[in-house]
Structure 1
Amino acid sequence: MINIGLFYEDIPNRNPSEKIFTDIFFENFNTKIFNASKIKNKKYLENYLQLNDIYILHFYSFLYHDKFAPKKIDIKYFPENFKKIILAHKKILPLLLETKKPIIIMFVRSDWYSHGQNFWENIPENAYLFGGFKKGYLNTNASDEFIFKKFGSNIELGNEFIEDYKILPFHHVVDKNELKFCNKFNQKKYDIAILGVLYKRRKYLYEILKNKKNIKLYDQWLLLKLRKIFNSFDKKKYKFNHKILSYLFKKAICNSKISYTDGSELDMFVRKFIEIPALKSLLYCDPFKNMKDYGFIENIHYIKVDQKNIEEQIYYLLKDSDKIQKITYNGYNLILKNFSKNAYKKNIEKVFGLISQDKFKEAFWNNGKLHILEKK
C-alpha cells in the first residue's frame, strides 16, 4: 500500500469536494498527517520522510507566504496543527524537496485565476496539482465579470508555469449522502432555482424570471442573507454555519424541477454542474469549457440556455415533465458513473501508483472517460 504524508487538515467549507477527496486518501492509502509540533524532533522527521512515498501539501501553504497575493487568507481559526504546518512551510518544503519524492499540491479549492506570478514561481517544478485547469479549459477572454476586475488577474498565468501533464484533473466529487439526499425525481415545489454568487449571466437570468407569475422561481434571499450574517460571526462557528448553508442549498436544488448554473465568464467547471444532477434537478446551464470531454452531452444530460428566448424555453420545458425527468435521470447516472466517490477511487489509486513509481505520463478527460497514461 502506498504511504502518503499529508500536510494539511480539513477546513469546513460549503464545497465539500476537498474533504471527500481527502477521505479517499485515508480510506485507500496509508495516510498520516504530519505533526508540525515535532518538526525539531530529528528522529520523527527522518522516519516520516523515509516512510512516505508521496507528500501532499495544500496550496494555502504557498498562498499564505505570497506577499503579493491579492486575496489573503486568515489562518487564525484553522486547526492548530494545520496552522503550524502553514507557518513552518518554508522549513518543511526544502526538506521534502531533498528527498526527491513526488509532491502533490491539493488545489481543488483554488480559484486558479486569482494567483499572481510570485505564487506560481514558488510552486516546485516537480510538483503535481490535484485539481487546476489544463490549457484550453477556461475562457481566457473573460473580462466583464466583477471578480476578475477585483483581482486584476492573468487567467493564463498558471498554465505558463505548470505543464499540462502535471495537472491531475480531479475537480469535483459527490459522496453517497448527496446522491441519496433527494429521494424522488418528482414532487418539486419550485420550477427553477438560480443559486450562488450572482455572476453576470445568473443575475441576467434571475432578473428575467423573478416577476413571471407562471414560473415559480426559488428565492435565494434567505441564503444570501444568512451567508452575510454568518460571515459577520466569530469564525470559530463557521463549521456549524457551513452545515446550515449547505443543507439549505441542497434543499433548494432538490425542491426545484430545474436549476441553473454557469462557471462565470471563465466558463469554468464549478461544482454546481455535478451537484444539480446529483440532487435530481435538471441541469440548465451555460456550458463550461469542453464540457463534452467530461461526458456531458447537450439535451441528454443538460439543457443549454437559449439566451435570446429564455422565457419561451422555460415554459416549453415545464410543459414537458417527461423530458425534464428523463434528462434529470440521465444526468444523475452520469454523476454516479464519473463523479461519485466510488468512481474516483480506482482512478486516484492508479494515478498515485504510477506517480510513486515514476511511471505517470498524464491524465485527461475525453468522451466522458478519464484517460490515465503510463510512461513506456
Structure 2
Amino acid sequence: MLRILLIDANTRYVNPTRNLVPSLLGQIGELVCFGPGYSSQEELKKGLNAFISKNGEFDLYIATEIGLFRDDWSDFYQSAIIKYSANDFHPEDLRYFVPIMKDFNALSAVKVISLLQTDFYAWTDFHIDRIDNRGYHFIAPSGSLFKWRSEMQNLENETFADLVNDNWKRFSEKNKDKIIPFTHFVSEAELYFECLSNRKKRWSVQGANYAARIVAREELSKAGYNLKEWSPTSIYEKFRKFLGNQRAEGLFVQNYIFNRRLETVKYSFTCNSAMEFPLRKMFEIPAKGCVLVMPETKTAKALGYVHMENCIFTEPSEIRKIDYWLSTNEDKAQSIARNGLELIMRSHTISARAKMLSEIFDQLVQSQYKGADWMNGELVL
C-alpha cells in the first residue's frame, strides 16, 4: 500500500470538490496529513523534515495551491483562504507554509501538486514560473479540456472575458506527461435517486450568470417558469452574519440549499461558459437524478456525456423546445436521468476516481507514467 503525505490546510470551501481530496486519497493508500488544522502549532514549528523523520518516508508527497504561490503570509488575514473559506485553525499558522514549501521543494521524491481549487483561465506568467521545471506532477484538468482563447465563441459576452488567456492550456499541452487529468467529482453522499415524477418543480438554472445561463433563464421565463429565487450565496451571507460570522455553518447552509433545489427539480440547465471548462454543475446535476441539459461541447463528450442517452445537448435559445419535448416524453426523460446518474457513479465519484488515480500513482512511483486523458467517460492511460 502506498504511503501518501498530503501537505495542505484543513479548510472548507464553497466548492465541495476541494473538500473531498483527503477522502479521495484515503481510498488509495495510507494517508497522513500535515499543515494548519491537521497539525499542532508545535509540529508546524518543527517543520516538514522533522515531521517526515518522525513518521517515516512516504511514496508520494502531495501539496496544494495554498502554499505554492505565496512567499509572504504577513497579511494572512487578507488571504483568500481566510476571507472566503471556513477554518478552525488559527490564521497565523498559515505563515508556516513558507518554510514547509521550501522543504517540500527540496525533497528528492515523487512530488504532486493538486490544483483542484484553481481558476486556470486567469493564470499569469508568475503562476507558470512557479511550476515550470520544478519536477512536479499536477492533479488538474488536461489541456484537451480547454479551448484556445481564439476558439472560444461569444467570449465577449462573459463578465470575465478580459482575464482569459492561454497560459495553462499552453503549459499543459507542452507537459502532458506531467498532468494527471482530473476534473471535479462528487461524493457518494451527494447521489440522489428520487424519480422525476415525484419532483415538485420542472426547471432550475443555478449558478453564476454565464451568458448561456442568462439566455436559458430568459427563455424559460417566457414559457411561464418562475426561476427567481434567493441565490445560495446571498442566503449564506445573511445566515453567516446572523450567526456572528460563522463561516462553516454558513457554507453548510449554502450547499444544502443548492443541493436540495436540485433534488426537487426534474430538469436543470447549465453550461461551461464560453471557455467550455468542466464546471462542477455538470456532475452535480446528474448526481441528483436530474436531466442534465447543456450546450454540446468537446469537453462534455470526453467526460462521457451522450446526447439523448445520459443528457440533452441544446443551445439555451432552444430550451423551450426541449421543455415541450420533455413534457411529452416523460419515460425517456427518466431514462436519460437514470443513465446520467449511472455515468456519475461509474466515472465521477470519489470511489471511481480513486481507482483511476491509484493506477496512475502506481506508475508515478515506478517512473512509468507517460500521461493520460479523458475519452468517452474513461481516463485512458
CA deviation vs aligned residue, 1:5-42 (integer Å, no higher than 9, x gap): 21113322232222223212124322212246435537
| Partner of residue 215, structure 2 | 204
RMSD: 2.8
Structure 1 portions without partners, runs of 5+? none
Amino acid at match of 1:56: I
| Partner of residue 44, structure 1 | 50
| Partner of residue 248, structure 1 | 257
Answer yes or no: is 1:195 the counterpart of 2:206. Answer: yes
1:338 aligned to 338, 341, 347, which one? Answer: 347
Task: State whether residues 364 and 370 of structure 1, in contact with CA within 8 Å, keep that contact through their aligned partners in structure 2.
Answer: yes
CA distance in 1, matches of 2:197, 2:301: 27
CA deviation vs aligned residue, 1:299-333 (integer Å, no higher than 9, x gap): 11111124443322322222211121111111111
CA distance in 2, matches of 1:108, 1:255: 28
Name the SS of the counterpart of 1:274 in structure 2.
helix
CA distance in 1, matches of 2:59, 2:278: 31
Task: State whether residues 64 and 72 of structure 1, in contact with CA within 8 Å, keep that contact through their aligned partners in structure 2.
Answer: no
| Partner of residue 186, structure 2 | 174
Answer yes or no: is 1:153 the counterpart of 2:159. Answer: no
CA distance in 2, matches of 1:243, 1:182: 22
| Partner of residue 7, structure 1 | 7
1:62 aligned to 62, 68, 87, which one? Answer: 68
1:312 to 1:98, Cα distance in 2 relative to 1, 3 A: closer
Name the SS of the counterpart of 2:196 in structure 1.
coil
CA distance in 1, matches of 2:69, 2:243: 23
CA distance in 1, matches of 2:231, 2:52: 52
Q: CA deviation at 1:225?
A: 3.3
Amino acid at match of 1:158: W
1:99 aligned to 96, 107, 116, which one? Answer: 107
CA distance in 1, matches of 2:257, 2:5: 35
| Partner of residue 90, structure 1 | 98
The two structures have a TM-score, normalised by structure 1, of: 0.86
1:225 aligned to 234, 244, 251, which one? Answer: 234
CA distance in 2, matches of 1:288, 1:311: 20
Moved more, 242-251 or 303-312: 303-312
CA distance in 1, matches of 2:193, 2:9: 30
1:64 to 1:95, Cα distance in 2 relative to 1, 3 A: closer
1:138 to 1:235, Cα distance in 2 relative to 1, 3 A: farther
Amino acid at match of 2:186: V
Q: CA deviation at 1:147?
A: 4.2
CA deviation vs aligned residue, 1:245-297 (integer Å, no higher than 9, x gap): 11111121121111000011111111111111110110000234432222111
CA distance in 1, matches of 2:90, 2:32: 13
| Partner of residue 125, structure 2 | 117
Task: State whether residues 253 and 279 of structure 1, in contact with CA within 8 Å, keep that contact through their aligned partners in structure 2.
Answer: yes
CA distance in 2, matches of 1:306, 1:318: 18
Task: State whether residues 20 and 187 of structure 2, in contact with CA within 8 Å, keep that contact through their aligned partners in structure 1.
Answer: yes
Structure 2 portions without partners, runs of 5+? none
1:83 to 1:367, Cα distance in 2 relative to 1, 3 A: farther
Answer yes or no: is 1:285 the counterpart of 2:294. Answer: yes
Q: CA deviation at 1:82?
A: 8.2
| Partner of residue 75, structure 1 | 82
Answer yes or no: is 1:130 the counterpart of 2:123. Answer: no
CA distance in 1, matches of 2:333, 2:347: 21
Counterparts of residues 320-359 of structure 1 (less than 5 Å): 320-359=329-368
Task: State whether residues 206 and 270 of structure 2, in contact with CA within 8 Å, keep that contact through their aligned partners in structure 1.
Answer: yes
CA distance in 2, matches of 1:24, 1:82: 26
Amino acid at match of 1:160: R
Counterparts of residues 356-375 of structure 1 (less than 5 Å): 356-372=365-381
1:5 to 1:308, Cα distance in 2 relative to 1, 3 A: closer
CA distance in 2, matches of 1:277, 1:241: 25
CA distance in 1, matches of 2:92, 2:65: 13
Name the SS of the counterpart of 1:210 in structure 2.
helix
